[in-house]
Structure 1
Amino acid sequence: MRVRRYLYTLILSSLAATCVYMIDLGYFHYIPLVAVTIILIVCYAIFAIPVQVFLNRNPKKFNFKYLFIYSFVSFLVWYIFAITNNADDVFSVFGNATIYFYSITFAAIFWFWDSVFLQIKSNKEKV
């Protein structure tokens, strides 16, 4: 049951982030939509799911501390991708507003779906 909730979070976060990305690009077609969704599923699975598993040890719905943690990890991932594409100027990335926009937006999307599906206390704790 828990694995299904992780999959729901992963898929819905990827679809929502893809829509944001495509709207920002102004290029909304089927093939790039599928490709970007698959790329985001892989990225979320590699980088966000481990953080999510760690945070689910103490579940709290819509906790802003969790949003901050997701945003920080998201920024690190975007930063790593940015410097691998332009290794000449490592510090120019900090002046790029697009990195901040995507890292915060993608983290907020994942945080939302994580809170909806996984930040649920067990039945023992509810009583």
Structure 2
Amino acid sequence: MRMLSGIFSYLCTAAFSVVSATIVYTVMFLENNGFASFMAISFFMFAAYFIFAAPVQIFLNRSPQKFSSRYLVAYFIISFAVCATAALLLGNGLIVFVWYKLYLFSFLSAFIYWFWDSVFFQKK
């Protein structure tokens, strides 16, 4: 039963994080198109959270703490690396490192995941 509780907590964390981050992304980067591509963006957000944030979450949950600033810093470092790499691979060049939106979105996506992780997954 404990394993089902962990899976449910992770699914809630992932679902709420994906929806929240998709809304933030849509507001920040898609001013003209609005929510037309909400499902596609949600898919990519889920993939990014599943591939990059979930392993960090598993590693950090060896000593669970609610709303730990150390967890937020870890999520931000991973989020920034993923966002910067994606921006570089999309052909934007090194100019992406002067975009305030890169830093803002990296922090917000880390904050969102950290918040929902603390709400649903952390027990202490």
> TM > 0.5 between the two?
yes
Gaps of 5+ in 2: none
- 1:96 alignment counterpart: 99
Pairs within 5 Å for 1:46-61: 46-61=51-66
Gaps of 5+ in 1: 122-127
Distance 2:43 2:87 in 1: 19
Instruction: Please tell me the residue identity of whatever aligns with 1:57.
Output: R
Q: Does 1:28 align with 2:54?
A: no
The C-alpha deviation readout for 1:13-59, integer Å capped at 9, x for no partner, is 00000111112222323x41111111101110000000000011100
How many residue pairs are counted as aligned between the two chains?
Answer: 118
Alpha-carbon distance, 1:119 to partner: 1.2
Q: Does 1:37 align with 2:16?
A: no
Distance 1:16 1:59 in 2: 23
Which has more radius of gyration?
Answer: 1
- What's the C-alpha RMSD, in Å, of the aligned pairs? 1.3
Distance 2:13 2:69 in 1: 18
Q: Does 1:116 align with 2:119?
A: yes
Instruction: Please tell me the residue identity of whatever aligns with 2:21.
Output: A
Q: Does 1:7 align with 2:7?
A: no
- 2:109 alignment counterpart: 106
User: Moved runs in structure 1, 4+ residues, more than 3 A?
Assistant: none
Q: Which secondary structure does the structure 2 equivalent of 1:62 belong to? A: coil
The percentage of counterpart residues that share the same residue type is 39
Instruction: Please tell me the residue identity of whatever aligns with 2:107.
Output: I
